[in-house]
Amino acid sequence: MNKIMGGAVKILKHYEMPKQKGEYFRLVCLNGKNKGLAYLLAENRVVMGRGEKAHIKVHDLKSSREHAEVVKVGASYVITDLGSQNGVVVNDLKIKQHSLGQDDKIIIGTTVYKFERFEVTEDKEKKKTKKKEEKVFEDETFEEKKSKLTPVLSGVAVLALLVLFLDSPEKSKTETKRSSANYKVNEVSDPFINTLKRKKAEDKRNKEKLNIYFQKGLREFREGNFFRAIAEFEHALSWSPNDGLAQFYLRKTKEALDNSIEEMFIKAKRDEESLKYQNAAVSYCAILRLLHRYPEDDRFVNAKESISRLEEKLGYEEGQIECAEEVGK
């Protein structure tokens, strides 16, 4: 895949890199219809939205036609809400304008994008040409070696035939007896060898499965999807319960999840005490989104009750504070 959207963005798969060396900025879609697509920012201003004129098409019912713009300012980019109906969330905080940093998460409706800056240090076309030249050189060297070795190998073959015909009958009998003895030993040890082979094949399969789920868990952990990461690490350990690395990352993920939620609660309570009720609501909503699949969790219940308390303080009706996503339903 290699599309140009009005010259403002170039669309690639997330694992594809530009051919020319240099510094690049991109937005990677992490979910939804365009999951896995990477939008290289090729111009100083890029518009995101649901409309036909948007450079980055957001396939989300909660997206406005022109929802947000990403503008290059100095050495990086700044995202600005273009007066959208549902707003823009960056790293779980609703913003009007935000200077983007490495790995920032942009949420429009329920669609998530990740902002990345990276460098390509070598021109891919030059690299391919260099590899072809090296291969030609290697092939030529092999042919030269082959032509030199041919006479030597022929001489060795003649000597081997002479030795074979000059061997004594006694030696032939000795070899026959030795072969018979080896056959009997092999006959006795076959069940043991087969068991070892089966065990080795099983260990190899378990290791492959462990690695698949471990890598999935690592990817989710790095993207901040802690619950999904925990599920993948636990799945990996079901194939190899004593794997130290998977056990370590499972503990690390659980600690990161607890710390993240605790920091959100601290911020929310601080804002609430300072009468910054709207800011407190944003933090409580972030907790509800994070724990929306676990409504029985005490922290989810606490955050939900805190939202109701804020509605009373603000004189709102019940349910008037709405989070970026529907939770707890």
Is the pLDDT assigned to residue 250 strictly greater than 70?
yes
Mean pLDDT confidence for 138-150: 50
Q: How would residue 88 be classed by pLDDT, with cut points 50, 70 and 90?
A: very high
User: Which residues have a Cβ under 8 Å from the Cβ of 125 and sit 6 or more positions away?
Assistant: 19
Tell me the C-alpha distance between 67 and 61, whole Å: 12
Q: What angle do CA 68, 72, 75 make, to 5 degrees?
A: 140
**b (16+ CB within 10 A) / e for 267-288:** bbeebbeeeebebbbbbbbbbb
pLDDT of residue 192: 65
Q: Which residues contact residue 294 at a Cβ distance below 8 angstroms, ignoring those fewer than 6 apart? A: 227, 300
Bridge-partner residues for 81, per DSSP? 68
Query: For residue 77, what are the β-bridge partners?
Result: 72
Tokens of 310: 């804020």
Q: Could you report the per-residue pLDDT of 286-299, keeping only the tens digit for each?
A: 899 888 878 888 99
DSSP assigned state of 316: P
- Tell me the C-alpha distance between 108 and 284, whole Å: 19
Question: What pLDDT is stored for residue 188 in this prediction?
Answer: 45
Compute the average pLDDT of residues 177-200: 60
- Could you give the residue ranges of the DSSP H alpha helices within 113-166? 124-166
Residue 182, token pair as written in the block: 């080896």
For 229-253, what is the mean pLDDT?
Answer: 89
Residue type, 269: K
| Average pLDDT value for the chain | 80
Instruction: For the full predicted model, state whether its pTM sits above 0.75.
Output: no
The phi and psi torsions of 39 (rounded to 5 degrees) equal -105, 105
**For residue 71, what pLDDT band results from cuts at 50, 70 and 90?**
very high
What is the pLDDT at residue 327?
44
pLDDT tens by residue, 192-230:
677 777 778 787 888 888 889 899 989 988 888 888 888
**How many angstroms separate the CA atoms of 294 and 327, rounded?**
10
Q: Looking at residue 82, what DSSP letter applies?
A: -
Place of tokens 């290791």: 207
Residue 112 has pLDDT above 90, yes or no: yes
How much of the chain, in percent, has pLDDT values that exceed 90?
A: 37
Residue 104 contacts residue 90 (beta carbons within 8 Å): yes
Q: Within the chain, where are the H helices?
A: 124-166, 169-222, 226-239, 244-273, 277-290, 298-314
Which residue, among 322, 230, 255, has the nearest Cα to 284 in the 3D structure?
Answer: 322
The residue-averaged pLDDT of 36-57 equals: 93
pLDDT tens by residue, 254-311? 998 889 899 999 999 999 999 999 899 999 998 998 888 788 889 999 999 999 999 8
Upper half-sphere CA count for residue 243 (Cβ side, 13 Å): 22
When computed from its CA atoms, the radius of gyration of the chain, rounded to whole angstroms, is 32
Q: Which token pair is 115? A: 């902002």
Tokens 């300072």 sit on residue: 274
CA gap 39, 106 in Å, rounded: 13
* pLDDT given for residue 94 in this prediction: 92
Q: What domains can be seen in the chain, in order of their start residue?
A: 9-116 (2.60.200.20), 209-314 (1.25.40)
- Give, for 324, the enclosing helix (H) or strand (E): none
* 59-84 mean pLDDT: 93
- Phi, psi (rounded to 5 degrees) for 72: -75, 125
Give the per-residue pLDDT at 159: 63
Distance between CA atoms of residues 251 and 226, nearest Å: 11
